[in-house]
Amino acid sequence: MKAFIPVAAPTLKGNELKYVVECLSSNWISSQGKFVTDFEESFANFIGIKHAVSVANGTVALSLALKTLGIGPGDEVIVPDFTFAATINAVFHVGATPVIVDIQRDSWCIDPLCVEKVISKKTKAIIPVHIFGQVVEMSSIMDLAKQHHLYIVEDCAEALGATWEGNSVGAFSDIACFSFFSNKIITTGEGGMCVTKSDQLNDRLRVLRDHGMSKERKYWHDEVGFNYRMTNLQAAIGLAQMEQLDFFLKEREGIDEFYDHGFKNVPEFRSQLKLSRRRSTLWLKTYLLDSRYSVSLMIHKAKDKNIDIRAFFYPLSDMSIFKAYAPYFTAITHEISASGFCVPTSLSFSRDDYQRVIQVLKEVMESMRMDYFWNHDLSLPQGLPPNV
Ligand SMILES: *Cc1c(COP(=O)(O)O)cnc(C)c1O
């Protein structure tokens, strides 16, 4: 049996090892040290924004952002139904109330029309999520935010490198959040970043990240804060990853094209759309499967061939802990969630690996086609019209 190909894997072939050894040999392994500031600076430069504040992971980046904006009990925050649960968990972590809305059919991202429908006197913020590297229809979200005096906290965890009208995602909100978990575009093992153009918000993010300790007076606390700091060890890896980011993004574009070319004669697979005004980034390569076929059966069959295919996120509103927070049924989220799948995407895989994934999935698809026609022929009782 050929080697297992996981759905994602990090690539650590730059200066990661060298910089981590530097941390170890200099004894700076906690959250002070030059890599933390260098990583933050390099990240802010890439986004084209004034401030970047590193944190322990992407989830606390989101809750720190909400807390920094003063969002808490009694406030409502609008989130899409189609996202990783960290987005909505962060709202609960600050004691606010999430309001779950549906997504657009073309972008799979939060639908501004659905957002507008649920804005109330209690609404304080919107969290648009650039899902699977696809960019949210930002101008409508920004218009709504302006009109109703709402904050935008952008969840860019899956979309580092994507742009809206030529500007990097993360540059459009009060505070934007990134994740550096091992399957993201760049990784620090665990890690996250908040970015903002505001000096004031930058100060407050840093104070709350560090126990709420006064900037002027050490060990004096003006408010209840957190310890959400990133370590110098993580930042060392992050800086090395930043040095390779342009290369990563270019390679990911190549993977995107390679897959689409490989599957071009598979009419049952529909690739994520390229939409106007934005340039998406490739996180995990995704497809929608023709609704006659079952994604879970496909995953099962691919697993037999040692290929890791992943289903999409379930609708948050299907889970009992979140159900009560969705005022309307989210038809599009349900449809996309049930029919989408991710194929292995990483710079660590070779072209031969990708060729194997394509070959296996083509064979799996062919066998599902045969099953479909076979079953449908057999299931028709002789002499009866097909609809009986
Ligand atoms: C990964 C991810 C997060 C949170 O990241 P962690 O670093 O794992 O806490 C948040 N939102 C989305 C959409 C993500 O994909």
Cα-based distances in Å from 322 to 95, 114, 335: 14, 18, 18
Give the model's pLDDT for residue 383: 47
Which residues' Cβ are closer than 6 Å to ligand 1? 57-59, 83-84, 86-87, 129, 155, 157-158, 179, 181, 192
CA 285 / ligand 1 centre spacing (Å): 17
Six-digit token pair at 37? 């500031």
Taking the C-alpha atoms of residue 226 and residue 247, their distance in angstroms, rounded to an integer, is: 35
Q: How high is the pLDDT of residue 140?
A: 97
Identity of residue 71: I
Measured by CA distance, the residue closest to atom 14 of ligand 1 is 157
Q: What is the predicted pLDDT for the residue at 375?
A: 80
- pLDDT score at 265: 94
Q: What is the pTM of this model?
A: 0.95
Instruction: List, for the chain, all residue ranges whose pLDDT scores fall below the cut of 50.
Output: 380-381, 383-388
CA dihedral 244, 250, 252, 257 (to 10 degrees): -170
pLDDT attached to residue 377: 65
Hey, what amino acid is at 117? K
**What distance, in Å, lies between the first and last C-alpha atoms of the chain?**
45
Find where tokens 């969290």 sit.
127
pLDDT given at position 374 = 81
The structure tokens listed for 144 are 């709504």
Output the pLDDT for position 84. 98
Q: What is the per-residue pLDDT for 388?
A: 38
Kindly give the number of the ligand 1 atom that is closest to the alpha carbon of 184: 1
Residue 55: closest CA among 230, 231, 237, 234: 230
Per-residue tokens: 139: 């101008």
Q: What angle do CA 68, 73, 78 make, to 5 degrees?
A: 75
Q: Residues 192-204: pLDDT tens digits?
A: 999 999 999 999 9
**Which bin fits 42, alpha (ψ -120 to 50), beta or left (φ > 0)?**
alpha
